[in-house]
Chain A
Amino acid sequence: EAQVTQNPRYLITVTGKKLTVTCSQNMNHEYMSWYRQDPGLGLRQIYYSMNVEVTDKGDVPEGYKVSRKEKRNFPLILESPSPNQTSLYFCASTLGTANTGELFFGEGSRLTVL
C-alpha cells in the first residue's frame, strides 16, 4: 500500500529537549516536504527536499532542521523546541515532475511543547 508514515503521532515534550519526527514514504517519490498546521493559518511549509541531499527552506523554517540522506526518509528535527512550535505537523511527498498533481500526506504528528 502506497503511504507516507510519520512517527510519533503524538508527543508531549518540554522546552529545550531535542526531538525528531520521522517520515518515510514507499512510493519512490523524489520530493518530500514538511508542513505545520495551526488554526486559522492553514498549512505552512517548513522545509522541502527535491531529492537526496537537496533540502531548502520553506516559509517558516526557524527552529527546525531536516536531512535527506535516503530517498524514502525525511526526518524533521527540533534541536531546542519552544512552546510556539506546538502544532500539528504533516509530512508529504510527491513525484518530482512538473505535471504531477497530488501531494500525499502522512497522518500527522501532534506535538505539544510545555
Chain B
Amino acid sequence: GENVEQHPSTLSVQEGDSAVIKCTYSDSASNYFPWYKQELGKRPQLIIDIRSNVGEKKDQRIAVTLNKTAKHFSLHITETQPEDSAVYFCAASGPSGSARQLTFGSGTQLTVLP
C-alpha cells in the first residue's frame, strides 16, 4: 500500500516568514494530494489539494508543489500569521484519485512566533 513520510515533525517560524513542509510518497499510481490543517482541539480541514496533472497550485498565501518524478510534494505558506499555527497533514490518494483512500503523513506542528 501507499506510504507517506512527512518532514519536519515540528516547525517554528517568526511571524511574516515563510514555512515549508515536505512529504514523500511511495505509490507512483497516487494522483491526488491534499493538505489538511488541524487547529488545536479541532477537526482536520482541507486547505488545498493538487492532482498529478498539475505541478503547482496557489491559494492566496498557501501553495502546493508536486514533483511526480521524485514522488514528493510540499506545502508553502508565505507571510505566516499566528492563526497559521496548527498541525498540518499531507496525504496521498493511491490509485483511487480521491479522498476515499487517503494515506496520511504523520503531521507537522507549525508554530508561528509573534
Contacts and interface: CB of A to CB of B under 8 A. Distances in A.
What's the dominant secondary structure at chain B's contact region? mixed
Interface residues of A, number: 26
Nearest to A97: B98
Contact of B44 (A43, A97, A99): A43
A94 B23 CA distance: 23
Interface string B1-27: 100001001000000000000000000
Interface size, B (range) = 20 to 34
Given A42-B104, A102-B46, A59 B1 contact: yes
26 contacts: A31-B99, A40-B107, A42-B89, A42-B107, A43-B44, A44-B104, A45-B102, A45-B103, A50-B100, A90-B43, A94-B98, A94-B100, A96-B100, A97-B98, A98-B98, A98-B100, A99-B97, A99-B98, A101-B32, A102-B34, A102-B46, A102-B99, A103-B34, A103-B102, A105-B45, A106-B43
